[in-house]
Chains A and B, each alone.
Chain A
């Protein structure tokens, strides 16, 4: 019954999306708000009904629905029954649609008496995207498909996905991906305007981009945190295709935010911003295609069930051709630029954009290259972490150096010597911070030195800017939101560098009462016992950590067995403080031979997460400011 309701709502939502498209094309502009109000609210209502029907089915374990049967289990805790809704392909597409229609509603809310044509055109483009994804879900990935349940408890759920960070990771990530759809629609709407209808479209685009980018940042960070403590390898970023798929739109989104500022302040780069907005969303869709179609794992799995892949690929191609053709035809209306010198704020933003594009193109190349080799050379290759670390990381360096001073530079033209003179305090501070870190951690390597200098450079600059702005009340041409976001990047680089170059690792076999020393910590294996959780059983080790005889913590790693799916997982135990993580994994073993213990001392890891949160806060602060601009416009 509920499944029928959800399915019908999904179908009705598709009809309303089609109606929204039709209304935007046909209805007279003075009546359009009334019609749009009806379809936009209807679309939102029906996607909500559809989404909550599926959620309800998961909560009550309605196993007549295939999606629930395959992905849920009666013994699953309620929280994970709910997050299980988007923990699978069909449900996550439904979530994607829900977020799309929420953004669709926010676009509708932009209507006022001056922008009727413009907003109706945005809604027209948004309707195409909504319709595309609704039909995709309804036809190829319908979450309400029925099944005849063979087991009464459901097929269960992957326990490594049963995790709080991963439960809220997809919604945040989708707010990012899908938020870029608004930028895409706004860009197309701007291109569709006649000369006499022109409008400052960039003011409308900026808050959406800032929102999307901030949520994408925090979404990626959450995925990373999950990988860090759940996979138990001591690392937090693996250049996995799935990670790359979210990182590429992030890079282009970063470029987009910066060039939007140039456009706002200096009326330059207008056509470039339009193109960038189109590309960013196309890349989000391509990322979805790559991840969802399974084509990256193997061309063969893709070939087995190509219907989904082919649909998304054709839809992406359609969106791509439509948007890029429109851009090609109308771009000349927007290519008036105010010229500026390379040593100016615009110059630094141009550099930022070029580097982000190169980075994105390189990551894209690495991600799809194995596929290309398989198709053209009939050979299989892997492109793993070493490739990205040697190609992608060095390209970032110039962008980070310039990032330190760019905010205080003047628009149009600045003098390089004056900038250097202004940077004297940050340079001194950078020097001291770097020396301090190496004095504490003592291990030197080229990557480490470069990373720490860059991190200190950003942190010193942003702290000085913040100090000048907040305490000295100096009137500046940079915003607090931007400075905080930049500070976050500095902290993130600090954490990333520290945790990779100063990581210490011990892998040994330990018996009860054995002791091991890592860095300045003595770790004693004090006991091991069996425990049981709601849907798993486990052995749990207890390790006493001391430093100079002082108690620090008890680490309690677990090896879990989920009997339902017969899956083993290793639960890492981590003790975190501002300067380091102690990271302990319990391996195989028994009471005679002892247990394998993997122990890591990971310096500064927490700064990766704090940095990401700082970026998120900075981004949101900027949104609030920019939303006011629309209201006053």
Chain B
């Protein structure tokens, strides 16, 4: 009985050791050490990282992602913020390196005109239909 308990105890110890080793290699989304001391800069950095796509994940921002690449990018963005770079400068830097794909909020340019303006066109068509209809129904 005692032996059984002992085996169980050692097994548990060994077991936890393995888990800890395995889990320590695993990184998670934004970590407290990455945060900037300056509160304003941190808020800006957070806002930026939430709009940066994690390139190796599916539809995740680097702020949410646990990938190593995402962590590197978070640190990169924060160092840029610390240097005093503006949001726009950082976006430009990142898109020059990785392309527009990296921004979750697509920038307005030749290839995205339709994306941004079509919904407005849909809305105008909708308003037109209602206007047309109200003219029709007034005649009643």
B-contacting residues of A (Cβ < 8 Å)?
A: 233, 238, 240-241, 297, 339-342, 347, 350-351, 354-355, 357-358, 361-362, 365-366, 369, 373, 376-377, 379-387, 390-391, 395, 507-509, 530, 532, 537-539, 559, 561, 568, 570, 585, 587-588, 590, 596, 598
Contact = CB atoms under 8 A, between A and B. Distances in A.
Given A238-B59, A590-B24, A373 B130 contact: no
B18, B32, B51 — most chain A CB neighbours (10 Å): B32
Contacts of A385: 104
B119 interface: yes
A380 B100 contact: yes
- By Cβ-Cβ distance, the 6 closest A-B pairs, closest first, are A384-B104, A386-B105, A380-B101, A587-B28, A530-B16, A362-B119
A355 B126 contact: yes
A596 B31 contact: yes
A354 B124 CA distance: 11
B115 A561 contact: no
Nearest to B103: A382
A357 B129 CA distance: 12
Contacts of A585: 28
B107 to A, nearest CB: 8
Nearest to B30: A507
B19 A530 contact: yes
Contacts of A240: 58-59
Contacts of A507: 30-32, 35
B104 A386 contact: yes
Interface in B123-140: 123, 126, 129-130, 133-134, 136-138, 140
B39 to A, nearest CB: 14
Contact of B100 (A355, A381, A509): A381
B136 A381 contact: no
A593 to B, nearest CB: 9
Given A339-B136, A350-B130, A507-B32, A362 B122 contact: yes
B118 interface: yes
Nearest to A369: B115
B98 to A, nearest CB: 9
B3 interface: no
Contact of B115 (A354, A365, A539): A365
B22 interface: yes
Contacts of A587: 28-29, 31
A583 to B, nearest CB: 14
B53 interface: yes
Given A365-B119, A530-B15, 11 more contacts: A339-B137, A358-B123, A365-B118, A369-B106, A369-B114, A381-B103, A382-B59, A391-B119, A585-B28, A598-B28, A598-B29
